[in-house]
Structures are given as structure tokens and as C-alpha cells.
């Protein structure tokens, strides 16, 4: 009945009525069996006599608890246990597309199922058999009609199995599944029906391997959450065994079908067997600190025993089987990757762009990528291309040529010249794709923190006379005191690497500082840009200040300076704020969660949707994006030094205790504590769209997490004594972030406030922070002049030999400083893929099987309240984007700020907050 209600969309109360408590004991209802003339004994869920009785009374009342007196039970109790029948409904998800081999094996399995090689289930009770001292187990039951339903084309297929149980069996807490077929299958859920208490649910969402590949039975636990100390005796041993299996032994090469989570350093980014140009340093360890990644165990390369051999595309790279993309996500991502293949790998593309066509000859050439596309000649790979599913970007494919046409980026949708304006350049610092780098200036001029013995004088070239005329009559000190000056400071990030970067072919960069003034309208105005190079000698001009233009020449100089700032910004955004902070630094917490937190642990259930797909996308990044031949190195100014810049930021700047939104805003001086404000913070730029929208989501997450944590941990001793929880946090730090484990800033985990803060930060980073940094990449960066990922020329000065060319044709010089046509099209393909939502995306406030993911009714209802709050936040963001007083998100030609609007359609939408780092 409850299952039918769920299918038909029952109310929250109805949907959760069958999960009335998070801890269960055995009671019995005696129902007369008219056919067999005996009493049928069935278990009922009632609250246990533990610390949560009072809290569970309300939930228990809603549940179908029998009102039978103790005396009546004694009178009616039979001398021997009697038997009753329950039914399992098993939901298996089919693949929508199968290759030839899979189809053949599927039919062989159907035949084998008819002759007894079946899928077999076995129920495990929460109780111990007093005789054997082992968990009580049911008879084995075979899934019915597997062979008959083999050809069903529906996405999900339901199978049934029947169990005969003794009345003293107790409630099932686990199910053992044995797959005697040849092929794995995806088990979505199991529901046990016909208990008097209502259905008992087992959300599985896992691949079940063939018994011949993995001989151990797969164990799935019910949706009832248990702290380790409260685990029913019947399956405590199973809980511990399941975790041991997930940890593995740290040895051997991992097979694609394995489900083992372990740690390793980043020792697979280079490919030294291909030559010196493909060597990359290992990241992780005392020499170059870095977070740990998922261990694959591959053998070393032939030429370097410390470098792990690579698995090159299109071959799959190992992540635990359940972390791999599901079919719709895999199809969407592979289609997106094909765009990158067409732009990055096919030699015919490079051949099509002749040597004379490497630079854009005019802005119309860039515009034509969206309006007309470019024709490419397909060479020997024609047949390969034709066999692949073509993305929509290839709108025409003939025998001799193909038309590649890009969607128009959102930055051009309202005002195609917006990117040229200073106000838009400044607006994107608070409402663009990288709104987390801007800081309030505390001192002027800014001071470097680098060692002057190594990197030269710390003093900035910025002087008061550079900015004084742009402060609306204020002195510099007044502007500082009144929080009117802000800065994008990339000096210390880039200076240590500039000599090496600028020695690369076709790469030229400065270390930039940009000063902004906060106007009375609440918008920012860029007033000075400092361009720094490493000092080459005592008298070298290593620092230069560019100010807003006063004539034609200084206008082009100013545009070039802004482009170099954007290039710096794009590198820090991609390598530090996006990859490091939301991808790489989250992986250790995810690995440790699977290794140390049982699937039945309440905190694992909370974190589960926020870990989805992250290990897979990070593995694909190591294979395709951040590796020695990857597109990140190819498309961004730092080139082969990209990941070393990321590692330097991890060592020098990253702090977990500052990763939460309020702490980060205070650290950057963008907000101050203020108890009179709704969230206890006052933004110093009131119209700061990322921060103002982000605070709504941050506090919604915090409220939800606080409700959840305090429900399971009403006192601090429970947190301190939770061995799984403490092991998770300890391993996340001491193994996953081993190189920073001794830092004093790591938060402690000793009470509910600590746990709420840690979990809120993790969920924020995985959802809203990643969304704000990721899904605007093509909408803002798809038009390369707005946000060039690399620069190829410095800005000429009067005594430079290039200065005459610059003066003669400044537009040509400007375009020659931007990425080439080939570089631009490769980059656009990549960020288009990275900005795309897949059809199976789960957004914040959503969960798989929302009414049964937990067996705790109070928590399920609290989650629905959280979901409702997220919907209200979306409406508030829409309202803000229509408020003409908020000029950073509303106005003529101004893009609304929707990167933190929670929901989205599939595709490139420049909005939507998925639960996890999934792209």
C-alpha cells in the first residue's frame, strides 16, 4: 500500500508513515489465517526503549503499531514459532543502449536463469540466533521471471521473490544478493512487502557483479540509519565486514568491476615514456604538497619507477564501480568529449587551419564561429568519426568536410560589446564565473608576501597619484577606511612561475594587480592595473602601472592590460578556485567516507548525494584535462606549469576552516560580522550577487544540517564516541590531506557545532560553490576576447621593437595577443563541455527516492522542508534579478546573476546548483 502511495504521489506524511522510527524492536500481531486455521505472526515497528523514545513518540503514533495488551499476547502466544510469507519487489535498471556483446550475454543469462543459474536473495535479521550466535537468515529466494522479462525495453524492470519466515525471525536489516549470471546488473532498490508494519525498503543503487568475478555475496542494508553503537546485534559483523571490503588491502591493480576506495598521490599526470616534454612532477608528499586521489594501483612507467603508467583515452580509468557515470550521464559526457575530440585531436582540424589562418584577422572571424561556423576537411579518421554519435555542434557532415558551429555565449546575448566596457569588466569580478578572488584593500599600496631574497622587492609600483583622481574627491586613506577600494591580486600566485611561463612558446604573462573603486551606485570601477615581471637586474623595469585611457593609444594599452588581468583570473579560477578547491580537495573526504562510514551511518546518508560522480569526473580530469597532454595545459597561459601553480596554492593559501562562505567573505574583507543582519554578516558591497545569493543557500544548508546532526547527536559524547565518524574525519585529514595534517587550523570534531560546520562546508563546496565556479565557463568564456585563457604577447613599450606594429594596427596586435584560432576553438569546446548539465543531474533539494532514502520519518520530513526552502530561494533570486536598484544583475545589457539559481534544464544554461561536483 505504501509503495502504491509513493508511485501515485502521496503526501509527505503519507509517504513517511511506514518509517516511523530510526530504531526498531520486535513486537507481534497475531492474525488468524483462515485457510490454515492458525495464527500468523508478523513483526511491527515500534520505538525502542533508548534515548530517542520521547522524540519518536509522534512518529510511532503514525506508524501501524498494534494495540494488543501484554496479557492478551501471553494468552495467545503459540508454543512454537509459526511461519508466514513475505514478498520482495526488486527493481533493476536496464541499459537503454547495449553493445552487441552485452546483448548476447544478456540472452545467455536468460537461458541460464531458466536452468537454475539465478539471482538469489537472502534476508538477514537484525537479531542473533541464540543457538548459532550468528545473524538469523531466511531461506534463499530466487528472482522470478528473469528470462521472461529479458526483452522488456523499459528503463526499470520489477522482479519478485518470496520468503517464508518464522515468526521469531525479527525484522530484516540486510539482504544478501548473489548474481549467478555472467553479466553485472544495476540494482536500484528492494522493497519487502507483507509485514504488518508496512514495506521495508532497501535503497541499493549499485552494480551487482557476477559471482564468478566477485565470489562474495553483496550485502545491502535497509534504509534505517544507525550509529555504530546502536547497530542491532544481528548485523554488526556485516557492517564491519562491508567496510573492510570497501577499504581493500592497498595492493594490486584495481579492476574496473572493483568497489575499493583507497588513496594515492598524483603520480600519473606525466608520461615520461614519451619523452622529456611529457614529464611532470608528482603532486603529494613533502616536496610538493597536494591532496590525495583515488588509488588505481597501475604499474610504474618504464622510465620512472615513481610515475604510474597511464591509461589513455578512450580506455576507461579505474574508479570504484558505483562511482562511474550512469548511462545517461556517460552518454552526455561522451558526446561533449567528442566536441573536444573534434577540436583537439583530429589532425584534420589542424590541417584545415592553414599557417596563415592561425590568428583571427578581425572580430568578425570570432563572431563567425557562432553565425557561420568553420569548415574542416576530414582526413583518414573519417570512418572513425562517422561511427561515433555526433554532437549537435557538428550540424553538417559531408564526405569531404564538416561544419563546426558553436552556440552564441550568453555574454553576447544582451550586448555584444559589453566585454569592452570597464563596468562589465568590474561587474564580472563580483557576478562572473570567478567571483571569489576579489578582496577589500586594507593597505595601499599592496605588499607581496613572497621572499624578497628570491623574488625581488616586495614594494608595489602603485602610487597614490595613480588612483587619486578616481576617488570622487577622497584621499586614499579615506577610501580605505570607508571600504571603497577593492583588489584582484594575482602577484604572488604568478611571480614564482613567470620566468618559466614566458620561456614557453607562444605564452606571455604578467603577474597582475587590479584596483577597483566602489561607486555611489554600488558598482565597481577599475582605476589602475599593475603589471609585474620578475626583476632581471637592478635597473630592470619589472613593474608597470596602466590607468584608464585618455586617448586612442592608451585605450588599446588599457584593453590589453585588462586582457592580461582576465588571463590571470582565468588561470587562478580554473587551477585554484575550481579544480583545487572544489574537485581535488573534496576527493579525500569522499574516499574516507566510503572507507570509514557504513552505508547505514546517518552521516553517510546525509553526504551520499553530495559525493555522486566526483571520483569519476576527477579521474577523467587526470586522464584528459590536467595531464601532460591535457587541454588545460594546452589552453591556459601557465602551460606545463598549471598543476604546479595549483599545488603552490594548496600549500600557501588553502585552509579548510576558511572554505565556508561566511569565513571566506570575512577573510577577504568582503563582509564583517553584524548581528543585526539576517545572516549575521554585513556585505561591504551590498550588491555582490555571488555573496548575497550564496548566503541564502549557505544558511539553508546549515539549518538542514543542524537539524539532522542534532537529531542523531543530542549530546557531545555521542560524537566523541562515534568511532566511524571520528575515523572518517581523522582519515580525511591524516591520509587524504596528509601533507597539511599538522596545520593548527584544522577544525576539531568534538561537538555538534563542530560537526555542523564541517558538514555544511563540505556540502557547500560540493554544490553551490562548485556551481558558481563551473556553469558560467562557456557563457562568459566562450567568447574568448571577454576572458582569454592565455595571452601570447606582452604590452609593448615605446622602446620595444613591436611598438611600431602596435601603433600601426592596434586591432591586429590585440588579436595576435589572444589565443589563435586553433587554441580558441579547442578551449571553447572544452568549456562548453564543462558548462553542460546532464539529463540525470540531481539539484540541491532533490534526492533519489526522496521519501524512502532514510527510514527516519522526522528526517524525511525535515528534508522536504529544506527542499521547500530551496524553492523559495530560487524565487528570491528571480526577484533580485528584476530589481533595477541592483545594477550588477539588472540593467540595459546586463546579464542576470543565475549561477546560484538552484534548478536548471539540461544543457548550457548558466544556472543550476547540482548536489555534487559532477562535471
Alpha carbon distance, N-terminus to C-terminus of the chain: 39
Kind and range of the H or E element at 375? strand 374-377
Partners of 203 in the β-ladder? 189
Partners of 379 in the β-ladder? none
Partners of 201 in the β-ladder? 191
Q: Characterize 559-588 residue by residue with b for buried, 16 or more Cβ atoms within 10 angstroms of its Cβ, and e for exposed.
A: bbbbbbbbbbbbbbbbbbbbbbbbbbbbbb
3-class DSSP assignment, residue 695: helix
CB 530 within 8 A of CB 462: yes
Spatial distance between the Cα atoms of 681 and 673, rounded to a whole number of angstroms:
5
Spatial distance between the Cα atoms of 515 and 491, rounded to a whole number of angstroms:
13
Look at residues 884, 823, 678, 726 and name the one whose alpha carbon lies nearest to residue 360: 823
Spatial distance between the Cα atoms of 518 and 502, rounded to a whole number of angstroms:
34
In sequence order, which ranges of 653-722 are alpha helices (DSSP H)? 661-667, 689-712, 716-720
As to burial, measured by CB atoms within 10 angstroms (0-12 exposed, 13-18 middle, 19+ buried), residue 149 is middle
CB 403 within 8 A of CB 373: yes
Spatial distance between the Cα atoms of 1 and 193, rounded to a whole number of angstroms:
9
Spatial distance between the Cα atoms of 744 and 412, rounded to a whole number of angstroms:
47
Spatial distance between the Cα atoms of 317 and 138, rounded to a whole number of angstroms:
39
CB 56 within 8 A of CB 22: yes
Spell out the SS3 assignment of 756-799. Answer: HHHHHHHHHHHHHHHHHHHCCHHHHHCCHHHCCCCCCCCCCCCC
- Is the bond leading into 702 cis (omega within 30 degrees of zero)? no
Question: What is the CB neighbour count within 10 angstroms for residue 35?
Answer: 6
CA angle (828, 829, 834) in 5-degree steps: 95
Spatial distance between the Cα atoms of 195 and 87, rounded to a whole number of angstroms:
9
Max CA pair span of the chain: 107
CB-side exposure of 194: number of CA atoms within 13 Å? 16
CB 272 within 8 A of CB 301: yes
Spatial distance between the Cα atoms of 411 and 567, rounded to a whole number of angstroms:
17
Partners of 516 in the β-ladder? 486, 526
CA angle (172, 173, 175) in 5-degree steps: 80
Spatial distance between the Cα atoms of 427 and 255, rounded to a whole number of angstroms:
48
Give catalytic residues, as residue numbers: 578, 583, 770, 774, 919
3-class DSSP assignment, residue 147: coil
From residue 655, give the alpha-carbon distance in Å to each of 206, 526, 797. 34, 29, 40
Spatial distance between the Cα atoms of 66 and 821, rounded to a whole number of angstroms:
74
Amino acid at each position: 500500500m505504501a509503495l502504491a502511495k509513493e508511485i501515485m504521489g502521496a503526501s509527505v506524511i503519507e509517504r513517511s508513515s511506514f518509517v516511523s522510527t530510526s530504531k526498531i524492536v520486535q513486537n507481534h500481531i497475531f492474525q488468524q489465517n483462515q485457510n490454515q486455521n492458525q495464527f500468523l505472526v508478523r513483526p511491527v515497528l515500534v520505538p525502542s526503549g533508548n534515548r530517542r523514545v520521547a522524540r519518536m513518540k509522534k512518529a510511532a503514533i503514525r506508524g501501524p503499531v498494534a494495540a494488543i495488551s501484554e496479557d492478551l499476547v501471553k494468552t495467545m502466544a503459540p508454543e512454537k514459532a509459526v511461519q508466514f510469507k513475505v514478498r520482495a519487489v526488486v527493481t533493476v535498471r536496464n541499459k537503454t543502449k547495449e553493445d552487441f556483446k552485452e546483448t548476447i550475454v544478456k540472452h545467455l543469462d536468460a537461458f541460464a536463469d531458466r536452468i537454475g543459474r539465478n539471482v538469489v536473495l537472502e534476508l538477514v535479521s537484525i537479531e542473533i540466533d541464540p543457538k548459532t550466535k550468528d545473524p538469523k537468515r531466511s531461506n534463499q529466494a530466487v528472482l522470478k521471471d528473469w528470462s521472461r522479462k529479458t526483452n522488456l525495453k523499459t528503463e526499470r524492470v520489477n522482479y519478485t521473490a518470496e520468503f517464508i519466515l518464522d515468526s521469531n525471525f525479527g525484522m530484516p536489516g540486510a539482504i544478501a544478493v548473489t548474481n549467478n549470471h555472467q553479466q553485472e546488473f544495476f540494482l536500484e532498490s528492494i522493497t519487502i512487502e507483507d509485514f504488518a508494519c508496512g514495506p521495508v525498503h532497501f535503497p541499493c543503487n549499485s552494480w551487482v557483479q557476477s559471482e564468478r568475478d566477485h565470489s562474495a555475496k553483496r550485502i545491502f542494508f535497509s534504509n534505517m540509519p544507525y550509529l555504530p553503537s546502536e547497530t542491532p546485534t544481528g548485523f554488526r559483523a556485516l557492517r564491519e565486514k562491508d567496510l573492510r571490503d570497501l577499504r581493500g588491502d592497498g595492493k594490486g591493480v584495481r579492476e574496473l568491476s572493483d568497489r575499493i576506495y583507497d588513496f594515492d598521490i598524483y603520480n600519473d599526470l606525466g608520461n615520461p615514456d614519451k619523452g622529456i616534454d611529457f614529464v611532470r612532477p608528482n603532486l603529494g608528499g613533502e616536496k610538493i604538497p597536494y591532496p590525495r586521489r583515488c588509488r588505481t594501483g597501475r604499474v610504474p612507467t618504464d622510465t620512472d619507477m615513481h610515475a604510474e603508467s597511464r591509461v589513455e583515452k578512450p580506455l576507461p580509468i579505474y574508479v570504484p564501480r558505483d562511482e562511474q557515470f550512469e548511462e545517461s550521464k556517460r552518454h552526455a559526457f561522451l558526446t561533449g568529449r567528442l566536441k573536444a575530440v573534434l577540436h583537439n585531436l583530429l589532425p584534420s582540424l589542424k590541417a584545415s587551419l592553414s599557417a596563415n589562418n592561425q590568428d583571427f584577422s578581425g572580430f568578425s572571424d570570432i563572431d563567425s564561429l557562432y553565425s557561420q561556423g568553420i569548415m574542416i576537411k576530414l582526413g583518414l579518421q573519417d570512418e572513425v568519426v562517422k561511427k561515433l554519435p555526433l554532437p549537435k555542434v557538428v550540424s553538417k557532415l559531408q564526405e569531404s568536410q564538416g561544419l563546426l558551429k558553436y552556440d552564441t555565449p550568453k555574454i553576447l546575448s544582451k550586448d555584444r560589446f559589453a566585454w569592452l566596457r570597464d563596468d562589465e569588466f568590474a561587474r564580472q569580478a563580483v557576478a562572473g564565473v570567478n567571483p571569489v578572488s576579489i578582496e577589500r584593500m586594507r593597505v595601499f599600496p599592496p605588499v607581496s608576501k613572497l621572499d624578497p631574497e628570491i623574488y625581488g622587492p616586495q614594494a608595489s609600483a602603485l602610487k597614490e597619484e595613480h588612483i587619486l583622481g578616481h576617488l570622487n574627491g577622497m584621499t586614499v586613506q579615506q577610501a580605505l577606511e570607508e571600504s571603497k577600494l577593492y583588489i584582484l591580486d594575482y602577484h604572488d600566485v604568478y611571480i614564482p612561475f613567470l620566468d618559466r611561463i614566458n620561456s614557453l612558446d607562444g605564452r606571455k604573462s604578467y603577474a597582475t594587480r587590479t584596483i577597483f573603486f566602489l561607486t555611489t551606485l554600488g558598482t565597481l570601477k577599475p582605476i589602475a592595473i599593475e603589471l609585474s615581471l620578475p626583476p632581471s637586474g637592478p635597473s630592470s623595469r619589472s613593474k608597470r602601472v596602466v590607468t584608464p585611457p585618455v586617448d586612442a593609444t592608451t585605450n588599446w594599452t588599457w584593453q590589453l592590460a585588462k586582457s592580461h588581468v582576465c588571463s590571470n583570473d582565468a588561470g587562478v579560477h580554473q587551477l585554484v578556485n575550481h579544480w583545487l578547491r572544489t574537485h581535488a580537495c573534496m576527493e579525500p573526504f569522499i574516499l574516507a567516507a566510503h572507507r570509514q562510514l557504513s552505508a547505514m551511518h546517518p552521516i553517510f546518508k546525509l553526504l551520499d548525494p553530495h559525493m555522486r560522480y566526483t571520483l569519476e569526473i576527477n579521474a577523467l580530469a587526470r586522464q584528459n584535462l590536467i595531464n601532460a597532454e591535457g587541454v588545460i595545459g594546452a589552453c591556459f597561459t601557465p602551460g606545463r606549469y598549471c598543476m604546479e601553480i595549483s599545488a603552490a596554492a594548496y600549500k600557501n593559501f588553502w585552509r579548510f576552516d576558511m572554505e565556508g562562505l561566511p569565513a571566506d567573505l570575512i577573510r577577504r574583507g568582503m563582509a564583517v560580522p553584524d548581528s543585526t543582519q539576517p545572516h549575521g554578516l554585513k556585505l561591504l558591497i551590498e550588491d555582490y550577487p555571488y555573496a548575497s545569493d550564496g548566503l541564502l543557500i549557505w544558511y539553508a544548508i546549515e539549518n538542514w544540517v543542524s537539524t539532522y546532526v542534532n537529531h542523531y547527536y543530542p549530546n557531545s559524547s555521542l560524537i566523541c564516541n562515534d568511532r566511524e565518524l571520528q575515523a572518517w574525519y581523522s582519515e580525511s585529514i591524516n591520509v587524504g590531506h596528509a601533507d597539511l595534517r599538522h596545520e593548527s587550523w584544522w577544525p576539531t570534531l568534538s561537538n555538534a557545532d563542530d560537526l555542523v560546520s564541517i558538514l555544511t562546508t563540505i556540502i557547500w563546496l560540493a554544490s553551490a560553490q562548485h556551481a558558481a565556479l563551473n556553469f558560467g565557463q562557456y557563457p562568459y568564456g566562450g567568447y574568448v576576447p571577454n576572458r582569454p585563457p592565455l595571452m601570447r604577447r606582452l604590452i609593448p613599450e615605446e622602446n620595444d621593437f613591436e611598438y611600431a606594429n602596435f601603433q600601426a594596427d592596434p586591432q591586429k596586435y590585440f588579436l595576435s595577443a589572444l589565443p589563435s584560432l586553433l587554441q580558441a576553438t579547442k578551449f571553447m569546446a572544452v568549456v562548453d563541455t564543462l558548462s553542460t548539465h546532464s539529463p540525470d543531474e540531481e539539484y540541491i533539494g532533490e534526492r533519489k527516492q526522496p521519501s524512502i532514502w532514510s527510514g527516519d520519518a522526522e528526517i524525511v520530513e525535515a528534508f522536504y522542508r529544506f527542499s521547500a526552502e530551496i524553492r523559495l530561494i530560487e524565487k528570491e533570486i528571480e526577484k533580485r534579478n528584476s530589481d533595477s536598484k541592483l545594477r550588477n544583475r539588472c540593467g540595459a545589457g546586463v546579464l542576470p546573476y543565475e549561477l546560484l539559481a538552484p534548478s536548471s534544464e539540461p544543457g548550457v544554461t548558466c544556472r543550476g546548483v547540482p548536489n555534487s561536483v559532477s562535471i
